[in-house]
Amino acid sequence: MKCHGIPAPKKYPRVLDALVETVLSQNTSDSNSHRAYLSLRKRFPGWRAAAAARPRAIEAAIRTGGLAQIKSLRISKLLNLIARERKLISLEYLKKLSPERAYHKLLSYDGVGPKTAACTLLFGAGMPVFPVDTHVYRVCQRLGWAAPKESAENFQERVGLFIPPEQVFNLHVNLIAHGRQTCHPRRPDCGRCCLNIQCKYPHYSKSKNI
């Protein structure tokens, strides 16, 4: 928070909304995925209509988000699986579960991985479940929080146990901001990094010894 301040809260009206937009965000930018999400909701104002539609119709609606063929099939399968299981297309019941139970329930759905499950609960249910995306993983590796060969999934499971619940949202959002604005993949701006004293990244270590 010292570097990027306190982020504005972001929550979705429904948990399922958060899940679908998180699926759309995979391997693309936030702007592309949000545009695809808005297009999908315009074409299908209700999730029941989307579940009843052919995957190709969903694909056409989300084409601007990239990987539309894969994501349309994933979204269609998820909606229909939830409909069969719950008799209605909603995930609001997850808010009544503990974060751990809700997290593992989402993981039981085909196509939902650790990061997607964590993002869905953090943004859609306000639960303190810490997601580790590409930016968070990169920054945490350079800070030495994640072991060099530790997978993002394992790191997410481990680090979430040590973050105070009230800091989960702020830390996640600010680490993403730091990864995008300063700690770039190839040319991190170490000179103006507010975390450079704690950083273990070799590039910055070399610059300190000059």
- Here the tokens at position 169 are 């949202």
Dihedral class, residue 199 (left if φ above 0, else alpha if ψ from -120 to 50, else beta): beta
Report the distance separating Cα 125 and Cα 121, nearest Å. 5
Report the distance separating Cα 155 and Cα 162, nearest Å. 11
Q: How many CB atoms lie within 10 A of CB 100?
A: 11
Q: What is the DSSP letter of 98?
A: -
* Residues 68 and 59: beta-carbon distance below 8 Å: yes
DSSP-based three-state secondary structure for 18 = helix
* Residues 92 and 15: beta-carbon distance below 8 Å: yes
Alpha helices in the chain (DSSP H): 15-25, 30-43, 47-52, 55-61, 68-86, 99-107, 114-124, 134-143, 152-159, 168-181, 202-208
Catalytic residue check, 11: no
Candidate list 10, 11, 42, 115, residue with the active-site label: 115
Written as one letter, the residue type at 136 is V
Report the distance separating Cα 91 and Cα 168, nearest Å. 22
- Which residue numbers are catalytic? 115
